[in-house]
A and B are shown apart, each in its own frame.
Chain A
Amino acid sequence: MAAPESGDGNNGAARMVTLISSDNTRFEVEAAAASLSQTLQLTILDGGGGGGDGIPLPNVDSATLSKVLEYCIKHAPAAANGGAPNATAVDRAELERFDNEFVNIDQSVLYSLIMAAHNLEIEGLQSLVAKKVADMIKGKSPMEIRRTLGFPDPTPEEQAEMNAHMLEYGWAYE
């Protein structure tokens, strides 16, 4: 965590960076939180994003970005400890509660989060949303999965193909 001393003379107070969403909303967050994103981390280590510059994120809209940052701010302290052996059970339970609550959201928001977590390469958030989607799929038949995730009804050809493949995987449905 050797933050570059040059460039910003922010001693003591946490260093802040500015992120700009696709719809031009500016978000000021601690560098430590934004650095959970592998994509942003290098830029921030190079001293970018400070002052009036800001880092433009053309793929993320403001609603999604604020949600992403909510996650990052919550998880930044634990991440800074590097998987912290000194994190107490209470802290972990609190994070877990937060995570569960965090993904209890509309599917369209969830989809935006998946895309943002993917683009910004935020590992913890990627796992969290993947787990959520996996939980939605678990134990369902192919048709139920399609309905759950809002796929359009299959065309007759698609349906025939699905049936053929399900036959091949008969053991998975018994």
Chain B
Amino acid sequence: MEAAAAAMALPLPDDALVKVLARLPVRSLAASRCVCKAWRALVDARELLLPHALPHEPRVITEDTYEPDHVPYLVFDPVVSPHYEVFLIPLVPEKPKPADPRDIPSTTFSFNGLFSDDDTMGAEDTEEVEEEDEEYLEELVKSPPPPPSIEAGYFPARRLPLTTGNYQHDIDLEQSHLCASQRLSHRTVVGHWMLMDGDNGNDNNILPEGHTEWDFDVDGILHYDEDEDYHCSRVIDFLGFHPYKEVVFLMVSSTVVAYHLKTSKIQWLGESYSEDYDTISQGIYEAFPYTPCLIGKLRKKLPQRTSA
């Protein structure tokens, strides 16, 4: 009766199709969502991508839990794994002045995850981690560390590939962008930052006409002039990574910038403090990777289109 070749393209009962899709790893699930309208509607309606997109309990630990000279660091990358991991990282020692500021070694360290929400990782022995930390410190002593890109006590921005546990310190945040970040506070830049609400006296949160979202390639680029002498004494917070571009988000005082790792380009994104917050301590201090699979969900109320 049915044409044999096209058999599988015949409509399946939703429940049967969900049983198939629910078995897919997140990348294949995202691909399946693009196959046709019916599949997309089903993936969205059953919220199959949500568990992949959201960290289950992102703020499980606080700094108080650990020794004061360590910083717990939570790592989550939905593209690599639906699980997050917590790293306990010793504070970067006081910055030694390199003889020649341009001579910055690139160093690779490795350490173990402290624990994660993945059970297979949860069995990690804490003592072992501390040992690893000591090794890390020893290594720091042996080879002079690269100058911390952010003030001592703040963890330099680096990408942590969960698959290998190695991270590479390859970002020189100091030479160009600290200064550029400083400069931007005196400058009006046209851009857009989702967290900015209301107006704070200027109109720089208005997107250029025709833009519906931030363009990471062209919008709000800040230029740094090497000849000028900038001075920066402000604290820079590391907010998070872009999920799939080589971009990190940093906060300089209360201003958020995107920093392109490959090109050292800096983009102004806006203020991180909402006017609703009473105190300065309630701003945004960290961020999780932006999760594109939620866009559709947030943007519209999912009209239940019937597909033929």
Contact = CB atoms under 8 A, between A and B. Distances in A.
Q: Tell me what chain B mostly uses at the interface: helix, strand, loop, or mixed.
A: helix
Interface residues of B, number: 38
A107 B6 CA distance: 8
Given A106-B4, A142-B31, A165 B40 contact: yes
B33 A145 contact: no
B26 interface: yes
Contact of A130 (B6, B19, B30, B244): B19
B244 A138 contact: no
B293 interface: yes
Interface string A102-125: 000011101100110110000000
Nearest to B21: A134
Contacts of B26: 172
B292 A168 contact: yes
Interface in B188-245: 243-244
B24 A107 contact: no
Contact of A172 (B27, B295, B296): B27
Contact of B10 (A111, A138, A141, A146): A111
Contact of A166 (B4, B13, B25, B34): B34
B31 A173 contact: yes
B19 A127 contact: yes
Interface stretch (A8-16, A46-54, A66-74, A147-155): A147-155
B244 A150 contact: no
Contacts of A134: 20-21, 23-24, 28
Contact of A137 (B7, B10, B32): B32
Given A146-B36, A171-B292, A130 B24 contact: no
Nearest to A138: B28
Interface of B: 2, 4-10, 12-13, 15-16, 19-28, 30-37, 40, 79, 243-244, 292-293, 295-296
Kindly list the 4 A-B residue pairs having the minimum CB-CB distance in the complex, ordered from nearest: A172-B30, A171-B244, A108-B7, A130-B19
